[in-house]
Structure 1
Amino acid sequence: MRPFWKRSPTEMTDRGNAGAGKNVISMLTTTGEAYYSWNGKMYESDIIRACIRPKVKAIGKLVGKHIREDKKTGLLVNPDANIRFLLSEPNPYMTGQQMQEKVANQLCLNNNAFILIVRDENGKAIQLYPVPCTMAQAIYRSSGELYLKFWYANGNTGTFPYTDLIHLRQDYNESDLFGESPAPALTGMMNVIGTIDQGIVKAIKNSGVVRWLLTFNSNMREEDIKANVQKFVDNYLTVETDSFGAAGVDAKASVQRIEPKDYVPNATQTDRTTERIYSFFNTNKKIVQSDYTEDEWNAYYESEIEPIAIQMQETYSVKLFSRKERGFGNRIVFEANNLQCASLTTKLAFQAMVDRGAMTPNEWRGTMNMAPVEGGDAPIRRLDTQVVDLIETALSNMNSSNCMAVANIIQNLLKGGERDETQNRHQRESDPE
């Protein structure tokens, strides 16, 4: 007999028997480390789809770029053509914008989204595929390496190492790996919306039931009853009748009007439930109906789009580049031209950023939906702002033998800068508004 204080060692699940793992998460109802999607039913709701569409479209408009920055080469944008094509053409079936929208839909509906990284024999990423799973389960091999097993809608499964998965998540709370499913919080409100919609449909259907009751004082055959009823309808209830809304019957029958008492949901209650769903998705009616102002969109962007963009930047960088490559300044960024919804006055005011080299001419032209021009990717600066650079260069070359000459040069530069600024000021004052 074995001593009671000893027990068999805990078996670590290997890739071969991945289904025996206990780490599972649920999107519909959270149970341990597993999740289940809501069978697509939430996406069938017009309110849910309207709530998430602005966010999905905005994430799809993010432009992924490969940045390499070090002391020797400086800042390089898209230095590797393979990474550039990977971000713009992730796989043969979709573009980068389409894949980002698909992943954003999964993220909004399930608070989890997965992208599979396909690598070549050298470990370099060559393709990206979204994983449309209905369930995911965390599997730990005997070596401690983490795998995720996915169940698909067609019944097939797939198991991949977590290092080859880009995992985006929201409402990251209880689970160590997965975001919390939005289904429990939305189920009650969705049931209310469904009940209200069904009530409206039934009320409309009930409008076609019996509205008049004819009581005959003598016994009549069934075909005679139908004939008299039809005669009453033809004479008094049709649009083409000549009775002018007046009806008359003899002593053989009496007519009684039946008033329908259908329950029609209160519009205030419906609007209140809709507002709760808007609040759950951190949106509002103006965002949903594209009736927002510049400031309203900026507030929505900073609260909903920018956090996802930052998460995508960090997750893509970690999964696409090794630690050594990131040490050499390689990273992925997702840029958004958030000035597209700005007013014309705001866009024109950004010409000052171009004058000072903060924006390139082509970047400014992009905000105006204009095509780039040759040489427009190089920053430019006004003459009065270039004086600072010239003075710094002169001071760095100054020594005891040329200090007087350098001082004269700096003095002339300052005078020239004052003339340029005065000229620019007079020009601005003389320009017609």
Structure 2
Amino acid sequence: MGLIDWIMGKMNFQSSTSSFELLNDEGDGQLTLGDTLFKNDVIRACIRPKANAIGKLKVTHVRENNRECKINPDPWIYNVLQEPNPFMSRQLLLEKMVTQLDLNSNAFAFIKRNDFGYPTAIFPIPCTKVEVLENNQGLILLKFTFKTKNVLILPYSDIIHLRKDFNSNDLFGTPPYDPLLPLLEVIDSVDDSIVNNVSNNRFMNWLLNFKEVLDQDDLIKNTNEFVNNYMKYTGDGVKAGFSEPTYTLQQVPASNYAPEPQRTNDAIRRILMFFNTNENIVQSTFNEDQWNAYNEAVINPLVIQLNNEFTRKFFTPAERKNGNRIVFEASNLEFASIATKLAFSIMVERASLTPNEWRSLMGIGPIQRGDVPLLKTDTAPIDQKERDREFELRVEREKKREEEIEKCRQECLEECKQFKEFCMEQQKKLLEKPETDDKNS
């Protein structure tokens, strides 16, 4: 079974389909020149920083509504986002899609679902041609043609479609071939002229000046004998030549001509501008401010498109209304200076960052209980502080209860003492009364 059959399973949309007419369809959906662009070192150098930055994005499934706020609540979605298919990780999937996006202004990935409609895998689709179709039920489909001439028809509702330069076509981005190919021709022409110049100067060139007039055959014969005897290396060591009276030798000086570098530099600069980058980003010599500018102009817009497209294709409208969404998180502090990263330690004290989040910015591994926020300068975690506060309140209640019991006990003792004294006084009075009565009698 081929890879296409393995991806599709039992699905088959190739029957009962017809072409779907778009309002504006400039272009035939050909994406065949992306490989030509990728062969150029300047194009590849422009794409690589963007692909690497997108590949390092963290992705989570968030469900947030009035009743709950959960991170990665469904294990099947979490597994698909972390391991999209058996052949690549999330990082490689994103890098491949970004590369296809920059080369063709379109990138496609198919969401494979099980019989219950849950996503089980994500496969990128590096096609050479794409067409829009419609079946009898009104379902919009995309017909992909590959280099091997294999054809794959998939529903557009299960296609993650990234695009840029979205202008002339109603569904697809405008490929970058027209502005880039003339620039590449300039660079390739300069490179070819340099290669040819170097190849021609590998050997010394000689001019044979014959002293007598010879016919064409004799000229060729004498020239070939000179080349075979003295211009070819045979491994025999140093060769010695001798002077022929029929001709004299004249060495032709080597040509050091090189094309004007300004033409190449102008073409490279225009290619860098086309990809919204510069030499510092390409050569990894940027500083913090330069990376932040590149991140805001290039990375963040693509992150927003990834969030919207994955959320739209992963969940139904009812699920999205319930607060389900896919979030790609990009940290533009990765290339910040140490002073900037250390300044964020105050956010840990204010519970805006967890200790592990701050440690990840510093390039340090996580610690136990590092995912629990801290509150201000108190080093105790919030949940531990709540438990300590409950314990203190319980101790205070017990202490107050004991004080009330002790107070009640003291009051009882005091009342008992007073009652005892009263009884003793009454008894004493009773004992003294008979003696008084006897005297009176």
TM-score by length of 2: 0.74
Q: How does 1:13-412 map to 2 (within 5 A)?
A: 16=15, 18=17, 20-21=19-20, 30-31=26-27, 34-38=29-33, 40-73=35-68, 75-208=69-202, 211-217=205-211, 253-261=247-255, 263-383=257-377
SS in 2 for 1:302: helix
Separation of aligned partners in 2, 1:225 and 1:114: 62
TM-score by length of 1: 0.75
Amino acid in the other structure paired with 2:163: R
Amino acid in the other structure paired with 2:205: R
Separation of aligned partners in 1, 2:80 and 2:341: 32
Structure 2: segments with no counterpart, 5+ residues: 1-12, 381-441
Alpha-carbon offset, residue 205 of structure 1: 1.5
SS in 2 for 1:147: strand
Amino acid in the other structure paired with 1:185: P
Separation of aligned partners in 1, 2:152 and 2:368: 48
Root-mean-square deviation (CA, aligned residues, Å) is 3.1
SS in 2 for 1:40: helix
Amino acid in the other structure paired with 2:72: N
1:133-187 deviation digits (Å, cap 9, x = unpaired): 1111011234432111110111111111111111111111111110001111111
SS in 2 for 1:35: coil
1:179-238 deviation digits (Å, cap 9, x = unpaired): 00111111111111111111111111221466232324358988877777788889xxxx
Q: Check conservation: 1:214, 1:229, Cα contact below 8 A.
A: no
Identity value in percent:
38
Q: Check conservation: 2:34, 2:103, Cα contact below 8 A.
A: no
Amino acid in the other structure paired with 1:298: N
* Cα distance change, pair 199–272 in 1 and its aligned pair in 2 (3 A): same
Q: Check conservation: 1:210, 1:258, Cα contact below 8 A.
A: yes
Separation of aligned partners in 2, 1:133 and 1:215: 61
Separation of aligned partners in 2, 1:100 and 1:338: 18
Amino acid in the other structure paired with 1:279: M
Alpha-carbon offset, residue 94 of structure 1: 1.0
* Cα distance change, pair 299–60 in 1 and its aligned pair in 2 (3 A): same
Amino acid in the other structure paired with 1:40: D
Separation of aligned partners in 1, 2:291 and 2:66: 37
Separation of aligned partners in 1, 2:124 and 2:223: 67
Separation of aligned partners in 1, 2:355 and 2:73: 22
Separation of aligned partners in 2, 1:134 and 1:228: 54
* Cα distance change, pair 254–24 in 1 and its aligned pair in 2 (3 A): farther
SS in 2 for 1:132: coil
Structure 1: segments with no counterpart, 5+ residues: 1-13, 387-433
* Cα distance change, pair 229–141 in 1 and its aligned pair in 2 (3 A): closer
